[in-house]
Amino acid sequence: MTFKRLAEYLQRLEETTLRNKITEILAELYKETNGEEIGMICQLLQGRVAPLYEAIEFGVADKMMIRAIGQGLNVEITDVAALFRKTGDLGITVESIKNQPSGIKYKERNTITEVYEVLFRLATSGGEGSQEEKIKLMGELIKDLDPLSCRYVVRIPIGRLRLGFSDMTVLDSLSWMIKGTKELRPTIEKAYNVRPDISFISSTLKEKGIKGLAQVKPQVGTPILMARAERMTNGADIIEKIGKCAIEPKYDGFRVQGHKRGNKVELFSRNLENVTLMYPDIVKGIIKQVKANEAIIEGEAVAFNPNTGEYLPFQETVQRKRKYNIEAYAREIPLKLFAFELLYRDGISYLGKPFEERRSELEKIVAKGDTILVSQEEVVGDAKRLEEIFQDAVSRGLEGVMAKKLDGIYRAGSRDFNWIKYKRSYAGKLADTIDCVVLGYDYGQGKRTGFGIGDFLIGVYDDKDEKFQTVAKIGTGLTDEEWKKIKLRSDKLKVKNKPENYDVDKMMECDVWITPLIVVEIRADEITRSPVHTAGRVMKPSISGKAFDVEVAGLALRFPRLERFRDDKKPMEVTTLKELKKLYEMQGKK
């Protein structure tokens, strides 16, 4: 099949928002392919050339792609960037440049296989000169392909196909290809969950039918898609939703799935990256403490201070995710793994077994020790007790709690109410919001292009410096109507240059600056130390004296979102730097 033919299908898909229709069109597309092509197509639709658990990344995003478009079409990079700002989509950008009369002929016969192979080479290129190489490969593709194909070939590496469907709909459509209905989706999904390789799944279905997936079972060494939790904001709702449930603390670390066979252990991140070499302490812990020949367990890894026994904030924990200096960091910032799931053990899959059974089996196979701790849990049947546990968790400095449905299966890859997270920041206390002033905004991408705004920069006031200093950009919490409204209001306040009394890092520069008059109430989970936000930040000369380094990091907001507009407040009444510093200090001692 030609890539052009695929592009025509993608255009049809992009034009409809109806998921049933999308499913049908995809099935129609598959019918035109052979077993190899369907694998490549499904893989490319994920914006990749290999499954997540293979360490093959494009290493190409917006900036590199802009350079590739410039080189491929012989256009100034600044012009490409300008058009991108306007269109909010690099696919549309390249297509519209390509549609301008240029006299350059393009081939129409590139096959999907050829395009896939170029993208694969691009993704596996590395080392000195590799950026030039990637730009060259991408540029040649853009030069060779027709305008419509260019739209999609550019969107694949940057992972923004924007077709209105993703993995789950692809699984539906594979069912549709075989049966003309979605009835095989559960079977296909079950296989995909334990072998998250869409190329394998789709090719197998095409060549062997649904029977081909019968042998796909959890396997040590192949990561299983991780379950995620829905959110709720109070104990009563949780009990009403799932009844009697198990409550566990919610730690602020990162997810780890551990695979053990004999004395060999592999670790995977939530995104299925193989992270075995990064965490030798967890590997040793699993070998020592997990009493099963084969097992797949899951938990949250959190760093702690070995001297005080206190758990460390996320910003320190995450430093353990590294490629170099591993042993030194492991000594300085050791990890504990709070195990909360058993997914597989010695030939038996626990994915479809109720939580209580997974949990009791987990307790049996994890021996007491220093590194792997089975997560605490309490089964509760009433909201009052749930709230008590939640309050206790919060006072211990934890993020909140997780509630797990007692008879719920492990819903690999999906987010549903078998797991519910109840976080501190949902509780809606005034202490978690601050008032800020809008300093500028950026043009949006995709859907937000139409609004002319995608996010806005906010700051607090430092009455000592008499400057506005930044704490976050806001890109969520507004309805479509509110986006349109704030854009209109902002444009009335537009100024040509960044005002003198704005203290903004280069990284946070905005497309449009405005007079500081719009006041917003912002919710966040936490105040963190920031290298790029300027609230309270102090700089010092760098070693060479030619640049500046951060001496005291600024303050910023973690998971910032708009709570509401505060038209009743004046800009001079927003939170001051002094108040923000106080809030930061207070959160340390809860």
Site string for DNA, 310-339 (x = CB under 7 A): ----xx--xx-xxxxx--------------
Using CB under 7 A, pick the residue from 297, 478, 518, 522 that binds DNA: 478
Site string for DNA, 20-59 (x = CB under 7 A): x------------------------------------xxx
Please state, as a whole number, how many other Cβ atoms lie within 10 Å of the Cβ of residue 271.
Answer: 11
- Please name the residues in contact with 446: beta carbons below 8 A apart, sequence gap of 6 or more: 88, 89, 160, 162
- Pick between residue 69 and residue 295 the one whose CB is nearest to DNA: 69
Q: Which residue bears the tokens 């551990």? A: 258
Using CB under 7 A, pick the residue from 136, 485, 558, 581 that binds DNA: 558
Q: Which stretch binds DNA (CB under 7 A): 29-37, 344-352, 389-397, 466-474?
A: 466-474
Q: Which residue bears the tokens 């995104």? A: 271
Q: Which residue bears the tokens 């070499």? A: 277
**Least CB distance to DNA at residue 258 (A):** 14
- Please tell me the chain's helix, strand, coil percentages from 3-state DSSP, rounded to the nearest 5: 40, 25, 35
The residue type of 294 is E
Restricted to residues 238-297, the positions that interact with DNA (CB under 7 A) are 241, 252-255, 269-271, 273, 275
**Least CB distance to DNA at residue 360 (A):** 25
Using CB under 7 A, pick the residue from 259, 404, 405, 473 that binds DNA: 473
Pairwise CA distance, residues 96 & 99, whole Å? 5
- The alpha carbon dihedral of 525, 527, 530, 534 has a sign of positive
The residue type of 563 is E
- Pick between residue 45 and residue 365 the one whose CB is nearest to DNA: 45
Q: What is the 3-state secondary structure (H, E, C) of 308-365?
A: CCCECCHHHHHHHCCCCCHHHHHHHCCEEEEEEEEEEECCEECCCCCHHHHHHHHHHH
Pairwise CA distance, residues 259 & 261, whole Å? 7
**Least CB distance to DNA at residue 417 (A):** 6
Copy the structure tokens of residue 540. 């010092």
Q: Which DSSP state fits 406?
A: T
Secondary element (H or E) of residue 301: strand 294-303
Is there binding between residue 11 and DNA (CB under 7 A)?
no
Is there binding between residue 161 and DNA (CB under 7 A)?
yes
Site string for DNA, 189-228 (x = CB under 7 A): ----------------------------------------
Q: Which residue bears the tokens 């200093």? A: 469
Closest CA to 558 of 226, 323, 318: 318
Task: Tell me: is residue 294 an annotated ligand-binding position.
Answer: no
Q: Which stretch binds DNA (CB under 7 A): 62-70, 365-373, 389-397, 578-586?
A: 62-70
Closest CA to 199 of 387, 37, 6: 37
Pairwise CA distance, residues 558 & 425, whole Å? 11
**CA-atom Rg of the chain in angstroms:** 26
Number of residues that bind DNA (CB under 7 A): 103
Count the residues in the chain. Answer: 590
Pairwise CA distance, residues 586 & 220, whole Å? 45
Using CB under 7 A, pick the residue from 480, 551, 567, 585 that binds DNA: 480
Task: Tell me: is residue 314 an annotated ligand-binding position.
Answer: no
Find out whether 395 and 427 touch, Cβ atoms under 8 Å: no
Which of 250, 405, 467, 487 is labelled catalytic? 250
Is there binding between residue 65 and DNA (CB under 7 A)?
yes
Q: Which stretch binds DNA (CB under 7 A): 338-346, 363-371, 495-503, 541-549?
A: 541-549
Find out whether 460 and 436 touch, Cβ atoms under 8 Å: yes
Restricted to residues 388-417, the positions that interact with DNA (CB under 7 A) are 414-417
Task: Tell me: is residue 84 an annotated ligand-binding position.
Answer: no
Restricted to residues 333-392, the positions that interact with DNA (CB under 7 A) are none
Task: Tell me: is residue 566 an annotated ligand-binding position.
Answer: no
Q: Which residue bears the tokens 């095989």? A: 184
Is there binding between residue 481 and DNA (CB under 7 A)?
yes
**Least CB distance to DNA at residue 522 (A):** 10
- Pick between residue 192 and residue 365 the one whose CB is nearest to DNA: 192
Is there binding between residue 582 and DNA (CB under 7 A)?
no
Site string for DNA, 496-535 (x = CB under 7 A): ----------x-x--------------x-x--xxxxxx--
- The alpha carbon dihedral of 102, 107, 112, 113 has a sign of negative
- Pick between residue 289 and residue 445 the one whose CB is nearest to DNA: 445
Using CA atoms, how far residue 233 sits from 380, 401, 427, 532, 559, in Å, is 17, 11, 6, 31, 16
Give yes or no: 250 in active site: yes
Is there binding between residue 557 and DNA (CB under 7 A)?
yes
Site string for DNA, 127-146 (x = CB under 7 A): xxxxxx--------------
Task: Tell me: is residue 529 an annotated ligand-binding position.
Answer: no
Copy the structure tokens of residue 129. 């000169």
Is there binding between residue 468 and DNA (CB under 7 A)?
no
Restricted to residues 69-128, the positions that interact with DNA (CB under 7 A) are 88, 126-128
Using CB under 7 A, pick the residue from 248, 266, 442, 462 that binds DNA: 442
Catalytic residues: 250
Binding residues for ATP, as ranges, are 248, 255, 270, 300, 340, 415, 421
